[in-house]
Amino acid sequence: MNNRLAANRNLHLHYEPTYRGFNCIQSRGPLIVEYLDPIFTVIHRALNDHPRTLVVRIDLLFPRFYKCDDDNSVITRFIEKLRYCINADCRQRRANGARVHDTRLRYIWCREETDESDGHYHMLLFVNRDTYFQLGNPDSFDKGLAGMINTAWAYALRLDHWNAIGTVNFPENLLYHLQERSPDFAQVFQDVFNRASYFAKAKTKTYGNRYRSFGVSQI
């Protein structure tokens, strides 16, 4: 059953426990169809780029003293900086004599607001598993994929590393290894879509403001 969202008549609500044959999260209320479809697209494009894909689930938080942008420029700065850090890391590793696979960064994000928070972002990142197969130290601002994520968010917030400590949350079960020829591929794909479907829930999102509440990487 699909109904239009009252706050935005261009969006349609999905109430069923599955979508396109895959389980989706329904415990937080109906999901938005126009968000579910791009989620599928990003996952498939990531696999077309890299048949062995690492998926990373993170939360991007604002410090209490931070004045939130009234648009999504902060998430744009984060993505641009993270791409820069990844490219620089690959160049440096090659310069040091390592064999490094190319990687394309893809992503899915949503912005939510609650009574306790002015806003935060949930995000899934997709990279080549042959380039990065683990996260690294989540407290680092220096090395590894986690270090680049922390550095990119601090840059996006325009904060030094000291004031940005704790603004990236690395939740439990944050890594997924999507490998097309792996025997557990179908189950991992299901797990990734189910986790990402949370981003499509209609609740805790703002409609009609200058900033969007959902976004994905393009071609």
For residue range 161-210, list pLDDT tens digits in order. 999 999 999 999 999 999 999 999 999 999 999 999 999 999 877 766 66
Give mean pLDDT, residues 107-131.
88
Give mean pLDDT, residues 151-169.
94
Cα(33)–Cα(76) distance, rounded to whole angstroms? 24
Tens-place pLDDT, residues 38-59: 999 999 999 999 999 999 999 9
In the numeric block, the tokens 């008549």 are attached to 9
Centre a 10 Å sphere on the Cβ of residue 147 and count the other Cβ atoms it contains.
19
> What residues make up the domain containing 143?
2-216
> What's the Rg (C-alpha) of the chain?
18
Number of domains in the chain: 1
* 81, 152 Cβ separation under 8 angstroms: yes
Higher pLDDT, 198 or 119: 198
Percent of the chain with pLDDT over 70: 91
Percent of the chain with pLDDT over 90: 75
* 13, 4 Cβ separation under 8 angstroms: yes
